[in-house]
Amino acid sequence: MTQPDLPDVSGLSIGILGGTGDQGKGLARRFALAGHDVLIGSRNAERAREAAASLELTVRGDANAQVATEADVVIVAVPWDGHKATLESLASELAGKIVIDCVNPLGFDKQGAYALPVEEGSAAQQAAAVLPESRVVGAFHHVSAVLLLDPTVGEMELDVLVLGDDREATDIVRALAERIPGMRGVYGGRLRNAHQVEAFTANLISINRRYKAHAGLRITDV
């Protein structure tokens, strides 16, 4: 299913802001296993180094600003809470880079998860507003952290929807998704259509509860 028209991204280093959370750590693990130089970022450099060491791979950890400076491509995996402030503080380090936002603005109550309203429309659009000099792409919203971190799971069975207005950037991110076995990177529309992809994570959480699953998406006929 790998798509032959995609660029070679095997040499790109990947930084993960908020890489001490499960989602970020899980992505770090899979990209390191795929042979990438991976840097985990955190507000606290020491915590980042601990998270990196816990993976028992060649992943390194450092402060978010250092990771943003050093990595070729940067994934934003911070809690929604600190999303805007973190990105504002890193705007100069992230200038000119591809920034992949995988943050899902969700609330939780007794009935489960639901989508939070976002002034800019979506987390990805907020990132684009705060980082006008970066190439913001939305992707990796639906990847299960549990499966990413599970050593018995060799293949991630899902399509990664890649959203953005910059064709070259979305192609690079699609290619990055395909570095992880089982994943396919599928163009999913412009940034203005990112909200529903982020919000759909609430539905996947409902599905996981009902079916006791780690649900993902596949796009048929593509």
Side chain identity, residue 125: Q
With binding defined as CB under 8 A, does residue 203 bind its own copies? yes
Interaction between residue 80 and its own copies (CB under 8 A) = no
> Whole-number minimum distance, CB 27 to its own copies, in Å?
18
Q: Which residue has the tokens 């994943």?
A: 183
DSSP single-letter state for residue 116: P
Would you count residue 175 as binding its own copies (CB under 8 A)? no
Task: Please count the residues of this chain forming the interface with its own copies, following the rule CB under 8 A.
Answer: 37
What is residue 195's DSSP assignment?
A: H
DSSP H helices, 3-101, are 22-33, 45-54, 64-70, 83-89, 91-94
Residue 215 and residue 208 in contact, taking contact as beta carbons nearer than 8 Å: yes
Binding residue for its own copies, selected from 43, 66, 166, 189, defined by CB under 8 A: 189
The residue written with tokens 């599905």 in the block is 207
- Cα dihedral 115, 140, 88, 195, rounded to 10, equals -30
CB of 94 to its own copies, least distance (A): 25
Nearer to its own copies among residue 94 and residue 160 (C-beta):
160
* 44 near its own copies (CB under 8 A): no
Q: Do the Cβ atoms of 141 and 202 come closer than 8 Å?
A: no
* Strands 112-115 and 38-42, sheet pairing: unpaired
Residue 169 CB, nearest distance to its own copies (Å)?
Answer: 15
Instruction: Using the minimum distance from each CB to its own copies, give the nearer residue, 53 or 222.
Output: 222
Q: How far apart are CA 210 and CA 206, in angstroms?
A: 6
The distance of closest approach from Cβ of residue 113 to its own copies in the complex, given in angstroms and rounded to an integer, is: 8
Mark 100-119 with x for binding to its own copies (rule: CB under 8 A) and - for no binding: -----------xxxxx----
The smaller minimum CB distance to its own copies, of residues 17 and 172, is found at 172
Q: How far apart are CA 157 and CA 4, in angstroms?
A: 19
* Contact between 166 and its own copies per CB under 8 A: no
Site for its own copies in 119-158 (CB under 8 A): 157-158
**Which residues lie near its own copies (CB under 8 A)?**
111-115, 157-158, 161, 163, 186-190, 192-193, 195-197, 199-200, 202-203, 206-207, 210-211, 213-222
